[in-house]
């Protein structure tokens, strides 16, 4: 067990050198269909040039709300 800000954590700790594995599968091994659909739509939009760089999106939001950026 490790110590964290709120006390003892039951989460395992791993060395930084250990590769992280990120999946979209649930415990039964089936992919979440909505995630797969969103990923496919995003890849398709990127290929078609229909995406806006995140920095431009954030700048537009900040400008709309008069937030400094």
Over residues 33-54, the pLDDT tens digits come to 888 899 999 999 999 999 999 9
Q: In this predicted structure, what is the pLDDT of residue 9? A: 60
Does residue 19 fall inside a structural domain?
no
Q: Domain count for the chain, please give it.
A: 1
Contact criterion met (CB below 8 Å) for 24 and 37: no
Q: In this predicted structure, what is the pLDDT of residue 69? A: 79
Q: How far apart are CA 69 and CA 39, in angstroms?
A: 29
Q: In this predicted structure, what is the pLDDT of residue 65? A: 96
Q: In this predicted structure, what is the pLDDT of residue 2? A: 47
- Give the domain extent around 61: 31-69
Overall size of the chain counted in residues: 69
Does residue 62 fall inside a structural domain?
yes
Q: In this predicted structure, what is the pLDDT of residue 40? A: 93
Does residue 57 fall inside a structural domain?
yes
**Cα 3–6–11 angle (5° rounding)?**
50
Q: Is the pLDDT of residue 62 over 80?
A: yes
Q: Which two tokens stand for residue 14?
A: 């791993």
Q: Is residue 41 within a helix (H) or strand (E), and if so which, with residue range?
A: helix 33-47
The pTM assigned to this predicted structure is: 0.40
């Amino acid at each position: 067990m490790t110590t964290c800000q709120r006390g003892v954590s039951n989460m395992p700790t791993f060395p930084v050198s250990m590769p992280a594995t990120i999946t979209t599968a649930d415990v039964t091994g089936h992919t979440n269909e909505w995630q797969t659909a969103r990923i496919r739509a995003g890849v398709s939009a990127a290929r078609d040039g229909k995406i806006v760089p995140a920095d431009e999106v954030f700048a537009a939001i900040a400008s709309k709300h008069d937030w400094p950026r």
